[in-house]
Amino acid sequence: MKPDLVETVVPHEEGLMIKEIIYGRLRLSRGLLRRMRNGGQVCLNGRWAHITQRVKTGDKIEIYFADSATDLVPEPMELDIVYEDDSLLAVNKAPNIPVHPTGGYPSGTLANGIAHLWQQRGLKRKIRLLHRLDRETSGVILIAKEPYAYHQLVRQLRSRRLKRKYLAVIKGKLNDKQGIIDQPIGMSSQADHGLKRTVTDSGRPACSHYRVIQEYASVSLVELELVTGRTHQLRVHLSWMGNPIVGDEMYGQASSMINRQALHAWSLDFIHPRTEQPVQIRIPLPGDMKSILNHQLQQLQ
DSSP secondary structure of the chain = ---SEEEEPPGGGTT-BHHHHHHTTS---HHHHHHHHTT-EEEETTEE--TT-B--TT-EEEEE-------SPP------EEEE-SSEEEEEEPTT--SS--SS--SS-HHHHHHHHHHHHT-----EESS---TT-EEEEEEESSHHHHHHHHHHHHTT-SEEEEEEEEES--SSSEEEEE--EEE---TT-TT-EEE-TTSB--EEEEEEEEE-SSEEEEEEEESS--TTHHHHHHHHTT-PBTT-TTTS--BTTBSS--EEEEEEEEE-TTT--EEEEE-PPPHHHHHHHHHHHHHH-
Position 213, amino acid: I
pTM over 0.95: no
**Which residue in 48, 56, 45, 47 sits closest to 21, CA to CA?**
56
Other CB atoms within 10 Å distance of the CB of residue 107: 11
Instruction: Report the C-alpha gap between 239 and 251 in whole angstroms.
Output: 6
> Nearest CA to 147 among 5, 2, 1, 8?
5
Closest CA to 149 of 278, 271, 35: 271
Sequential DSSP letters for 103-157: SS--SS-HHHHHHHHHHHHT-----EESS---TT-EEEEEEESSHHHHHHHHHHH
CA separation for the pair 18, 300 (Å, rounded): 67
Q: Are 125 and 67 in contact, with CB atoms under 8 Å apart? A: yes
Q: Which amino acid does the sequence have at 162?
A: L
Task: Collect all residues with Cβ–Cβ distance below 8 Å to 176 and sequence separation of at least 6.
Answer: none
pLDDT score for 35:
60
pLDDT tens string, the chain, 301 residues long: the values are: 677 788 899 999 999 999 899 888 887 877 766 665 556 788 999 898 888 999 999 999 998 877 778 889 999 999 999 999 989 999 999 999 999 998 888 899 999 999 999 999 988 889 999 999 999 999 999 999 988 899 889 989 988 899 999 999 999 999 999 999 999 999 987 655 668 999 999 999 999 999 999 999 899 999 999 999 899 999 999 999 999 999 999 999 999 999 999 999 999 999 999 899 999 999 999 999 999 999 888 876 5
Point out the residues that are catalytic: 134
Please give the backbone phi and psi of residue 226, each rounded to the nearest 5 degrees, phi first.
-80, 130
